[in-house]
Amino acid sequence: MICDKCGTELAEGAMFCKACGKMTDVLVKALTPEPEKTSDNAATQQAAEHNAQQDAPPSEPPEFALLDEEISEFSEIESSSDRRRKRKQIPIIYKIAAIAFIIATSVYFVFFFGAGGTLGGDSVDNNNIVIDLKQTPSKIRILKELSEDERSLIPQAQSIDTLEVTKASTSRRAGTHRADIIITSYDDSASYIRYAVIIYERNAEREWILSEIVADKPSMWSVTPLAKTSELTVDSAVRETLLEQRFSIDDYYWHIKSDTIAHVAIVSQITDLENGKDMVIANVVFGSEVLTSHGQLELNFEFGEEGWLLSGYNIFTPFISEYMPNAEFELTNEVLLDDLMRADIEMWHENHYIFVSRELISNLTINGYSSSNMGVNRVYTFTFNIESGDILFAVNAEAFYRFDSLIGWIPGREGAGRFTTLGDEFDFETRIIN
SS3 assignment for the chain: CECCCCCCECCCCCCECCCCCCECHHHHHHHCCCCCCCCHHHHHHHHHHHHHHHHCCCCCCHHHHHHHHHHHHHHHHHHHHHHHHHHHHHHHHHHHHHHHHHHHHHHHHHHHHCCCCCCCCCCCCCCCCCCCHHHCCCHHHHHHHHHHCCCCCCCCCCEEEEEEEEEEEEECCCCEEEEEEEEEEECCCEEEEEEEEEEEEECCCCCEEEEEEEEECHHHCEEEECCCCCHHHHHHHHHHHHCCCEEEECCEEEECCCCCEEEEEEEEEEEECCCCEEEEEEEEEEECCCEEEEEEEEEEEEEECCEEEEEEEEEEEEEEEEECHHHCCCCCHHHHHHHHHHHCCEEEECCEEEECCCCCEEEEEEEEEEEECCCCEEEEEEEEEEEECCEEEEEEEEEEEEEECCCEEEECCCCCCCEEECCCCCEEEEEECC
> Model pTM?
0.48
Q: What is the pLDDT of residues 195-228, one digit of tens each?
A: 999 999 988 888 899 988 888 888 888 888 989 9
Instruction: Give the residue-averaged pLDDT of 395-416.
Output: 80
Q: What is the pLDDT of residues 79-95, one digit of tens each?
A: 555 555 555 555 677 67
Which pLDDT score, from 0 to 100, does residue 263 have? 94
- Which residue would you say has higher pLDDT here, 111 or 23? 23
Highest mean pLDDT among 199-203, 271-275, 278-282: 278-282
